Amino acid sequence: MFGPILIREWLVAPRRARFYVQRVVFVLALFSLVCTAWALMAGIQQVRNIGDLSRFGALVFQIVVPLELIVTMFLAAITAAGSISHEKDKRTLILLLLTRLTNFQIVIGKLAASLVTIFWLILAALPLLLLIALMGGVTDAQVGMATAVIVVASWWCGALANMVAFWREKTFQTLAITVLTIAGWLVACEAIAADTIPGIEAGWATVLSPIRALWSVCMPITSTAALPIGLSPALAHCVLGAAVAVLLSGITVARLRVWNPSREIRPKAPDQDEDYALASEPLPGAVEAAEANREQSRGWKVRAPRKMWNNPVLWREVRTWAYGRKLLFIHLIYLALFAAAMVAIYWSVSTGVALERSRLADELIPVTARILAPFFVVSLVIINALAVNSITNERDGQALDLLLATQLTPPQFLFGKLLGVLYVTKEMVLLPIVLCIYLWWQGGVSGENLAFVIGGLVVMDIFAAMLGIHCGMIYSQSRHAIGTSLGTLFFLFLGIATCMMIMMSFRGSFARQLPPFLAIILGGGTGLYVAMGSRNPSPAIALSAFGLPFLTFFAITSFILRNQELTVFSVVVVAYGFATLAMMIPALSEFDIAMGKSRSVDED
């Protein structure tokens, strides 16, 4: 039914070692969170009866299940987008269009093949969720409904990325539009929940947002209020999400051969040869008419050449449309998110909510921080995506080896790419700073903290860009480079958010919290070293990979303790600044080795 694409993936995927490693690592990561939470609770209080065990089960379920949702949504979108982009980069999608495969078999086959691994991850985590249900506080029905919400959310995220990947030609455009669309949808749902959109009740946010739908399942006492259609919020979200996924897949099937092959790669009629035209006998008045038409239709081929800078790489990044003209569309979506964040901050400051504190999460994380943090993460992800694509595009176009054969020096190439990426994504660099300045102007943050936040943002922007360039240089396959770069940045921030959630749920001193988190710190350091230094090992990369999780944990703890903003800023600058230099030095001193000349068996 789905064609040979899914059949091939179904038969070949179990032959790869990473098919089993991914599931083992995923389940072990979730299980380590459960063990960490148990160690924290056992160090704070004694478990005396089944009621304490039930409260722990309900609390750890609220930590593990949202984390699983976010991970699977991210992996589904990146995997689906990377699968199609890989076909386009290798020019094999055109070969698929020339076969007897129908549009349905190509589109649905690629989508199903991309989601096979994701669904296996969800299925592998199901026994762990049932084990949590055995502790009490969570029922089997809650586990089943939570799993259904996760499956449907992964499905429509993969269908969205699949549609955008078939539509757009550039890999960065696909990734940026997908990320911004998902982020924009979640922001719109939060606006509905805040009852700021007239005509839409706030309760519909639970149906439209996968995070709120899942959270309604995780609550020990669920709301008995049903929708007008007679369904619970989680079940209604599953029905709506499945309908959206089918709709997106239907649009992709209908427009497949309209979008592909793209106009950028379609053959064009050659221009008329001027020498041949002049050699033939012209008709009376034909020469004058030809000259007039040539002046009117003067194209880029007869323009005066533009002066190039001393660094041609930086000149190309800044002065040309190296990543396509559809970047304007991406900037418009990002500006819409910026406007939404600005309105949310204005509302929180004007109503006084920004300075209010509640009993739980708001006491440690202000409302403005919960608005700014997701916006900062989206900005850093886009910067990282453009940075890794700036290298993979050169490699896929067979231009990277030509650049290495020229007189370009390693500093020219590296700093040209780095500064070029920061220039192209200047909105993602400057607009978060504008939000911070506006918050300071409204009295929501002090001048000292404003300087700390801006300095930390600049360091993180450079780190995200350098991480993308580093992964693009050491991985010879674009799909592996993009997945590793985005995955490293995403899981780094996700680990920070998870640690903060656990710390807020189980209060305690630093001495009590450090031993349970050691397993997570060591696991994160190992993952960072595999991603950053396995292809180009060095003592500096090893030190930064294993030191970054510990220093980040220390910064989180210092932030929670309050009145240690200078300590947090210093630790962040030292940790991420050193990691940036550890990736930059090999690219400058050992340029040929850092470009990933040696390929592994899996990549070939």
Number of structural domains, the chain?
2
- Which residues make Cβ contacts (< 8 Å) with residue 502, sequence separation at least 6? 33, 36, 37, 40, 63
Q: Which of 259, 274, 300 is the last residue of a domain?
A: 259
Specify the residue for token string 């269009």: 97
602 domain residue, yes or no? no
- What pLDDT is attached to residue 525? 84
Q: Phi and psi at residue 18, in whole multiples of 5°? A: -70, -20
User: Are residues 327 and 227 part of one domain?
Assistant: no
User: Are residues 558 and 463 part of one domain?
Assistant: yes
**Mean of pLDDT over the chain:** 80
Q: How confident is the model at residue 357 (pLDDT cuts 50, 70, 90)?
A: very low
**Spatial contact of 391 and 586, defined as CB atoms under 8 Å apart:** no
Q: How confident is the model at residue 19 (pLDDT cuts 50, 70, 90)?
A: confident
CA–CA distance, 545 with 529 (Å, rounded to integer)? 5
User: Are residues 8 and 114 part of one domain?
Assistant: yes
| pLDDT above 50: residue 539 | yes
282 domain residue, yes or no? no
Q: How confident is the model at residue 166 (pLDDT cuts 50, 70, 90)?
A: very high
pTM: 0.84
- What pLDDT is attached to residue 361? 43
295 domain residue, yes or no? no
Closest to 179 in 3D by CA, of 64, 82, 320: 82
- What pLDDT is attached to residue 532? 83
Stretch 163-186: mean pLDDT = 89
- What pLDDT is attached to residue 601? 40
Q: Please confirm whether the linkage preceding 261 is cis (ω < 30° from 0).
A: yes
Tens-digit pLDDT profile for residues 207-223? 889 998 998 888 766 55
Q: How confident is the model at residue 365 (pLDDT cuts 50, 70, 90)?
A: low
- More confident position, 388 or 39: 388
User: What is the H or E stretch that residue 334 is in?
Assistant: helix 327-350
| pLDDT above 50: residue 14 | yes
**Spatial contact of 199 and 212, defined as CB atoms under 8 Å apart:** no
Stretch 385-395: mean pLDDT = 87
Tens-digit pLDDT profile for residues 91-140? 888 888 888 888 999 999 899 988 988 999 999 999 999 998 888 888 88
CA–CA distance, 205 with 190 (Å, rounded to integer)? 7
Q: How confident is the model at residue 491 (pLDDT cuts 50, 70, 90)?
A: confident
Tens-digit pLDDT profile for residues 442-476? 887 888 889 999 999 999 999 999 999 988 888 87
| pLDDT above 70: residue 597 | no
- What pLDDT is attached to residue 500? 74
- What pLDDT is attached to residue 155? 94
User: Are residues 188 and 321 part of one domain?
Assistant: no
**How many other CB atoms are found less than 10 A from the CB of residue 200?**
14
User: Are residues 436 and 318 part of one domain?
Assistant: yes
| pLDDT above 80: residue 63 | yes
**For the chain, how big is the Rg over CA atoms in Å?**
26
**Spatial contact of 26 and 121, defined as CB atoms under 8 Å apart:** yes
User: Are residues 364 and 224 part of one domain?
Assistant: no
- What pLDDT is attached to residue 254? 93
**Spatial contact of 584 and 532, defined as CB atoms under 8 Å apart:** no
Task: Give the range of the structural domain holding residue 216, as residue numbers without chain letter.
Answer: 4-259
- More confident position, 203 or 576: 576
If you average pLDDT over each of 268-277, 422-431, 486-495, which comes out highest? 422-431
450 domain residue, yes or no? yes
CA distance to 297, 302, 564, per residue, from 405 (Å): 37, 28, 51
CA–CA distance, 346 with 39 (Å, rounded to integer)? 41
Q: Which of 234, 259, 284 is the last residue of a domain?
A: 259
User: Are residues 552 and 456 part of one domain?
Assistant: yes
DSSP summary character for residue 546: H
User: Are residues 483 and 351 part of one domain?
Assistant: yes
Q: How confident is the model at residue 277 (pLDDT cuts 50, 70, 90)?
A: very low
- What pLDDT is attached to residue 501? 74
Q: Lowest-pLDDT range, 116-125, 243-252, 502-511?
A: 502-511
298 domain residue, yes or no? no
User: Are residues 567 and 462 part of one domain?
Assistant: yes
**How many other CB atoms are found less than 10 A from the CB of residue 439?**
24
Q: Which of 240, 259, 278 is the last residue of a domain?
A: 259
Could you tell me what percent of the chain has a pLDDT over 90? 24
Say what angle helices 447-474 and 510-532 make with each other, to 10 degrees: 40
**Spatial contact of 173 and 327, defined as CB atoms under 8 Å apart:** yes
- What pLDDT is attached to residue 220? 62
Q: How confident is the model at residue 567 (pLDDT cuts 50, 70, 90)?
A: confident
Closest to 469 in 3D by CA, of 394, 414, 427, 395: 414
Q: How confident is the model at residue 274 (pLDDT cuts 50, 70, 90)?
A: very low
| pLDDT above 80: residue 517 | no
432 domain residue, yes or no? yes
User: Are residues 209 and 86 part of one domain?
Assistant: yes
CA–CA distance, 94 with 125 (Å, rounded to integer)? 38
The C-alpha torsion from 29 through 31 and 34 to 36, rounded to 10°, is -60
CA distance to 293, 386, 527, per residue, from 466 (Å): 49, 11, 18
Amino acid at 294: R
| pLDDT above 70: residue 591 | no
Specify the long-range contacts of residues 179-183, CB closer than 8 Å, at least 24 apart: 179/77, 179/378, 179/381, 179/382, 179/385, 180/330, 180/333, 180/334, 180/337, 180/378, 180/382, 181/333, 182/73, 182/77, 182/157, 183/337, 183/374, 183/378
Q: Lowest-pLDDT range, 25-34, 51-60, 111-120?
A: 51-60
- What pLDDT is attached to residue 460? 93
- Tell me how long the chain is: 604
Q: How confident is the model at residue 296 (pLDDT cuts 50, 70, 90)?
A: low
- What pLDDT is attached to residue 369? 77
User: Are residues 438 and 348 part of one domain?
Assistant: yes
CA–CA distance, 132 with 116 (Å, rounded to integer)? 25
Q: Lowest-pLDDT range, 75-89, 105-119, 269-283?
A: 269-283
Q: Tell me the three-class secondary structure of 171-236, residue by residue.
A: HHHHHHHHHHHHHHHHHHHHHHHCCCCCCCCCCHHHHHCHHHHHHHHHCCCCCCCCCCCCCCHHHH
| pLDDT above 90: residue 368 | no
**Spatial contact of 108 and 151, defined as CB atoms under 8 Å apart:** no
Stretch 73-93: mean pLDDT = 86
- What pLDDT is attached to residue 579? 92
The stretches of 45-102 forming alpha helices (DSSP H) are 50-89, 93-98
CA–CA distance, 535 with 432 (Å, rounded to integer)? 34
183 domain residue, yes or no? yes
| pLDDT above 70: residue 484 | yes
If you average pLDDT over each of 142-146, 340-344, 346-350, which comes out highest? 142-146
107 domain residue, yes or no? yes
Specify the residue for token string 């801006």: 454
**How many other CB atoms are found less than 10 A from the CB of residue 299?**
8
User: Are residues 577 and 430 part of one domain?
Assistant: yes
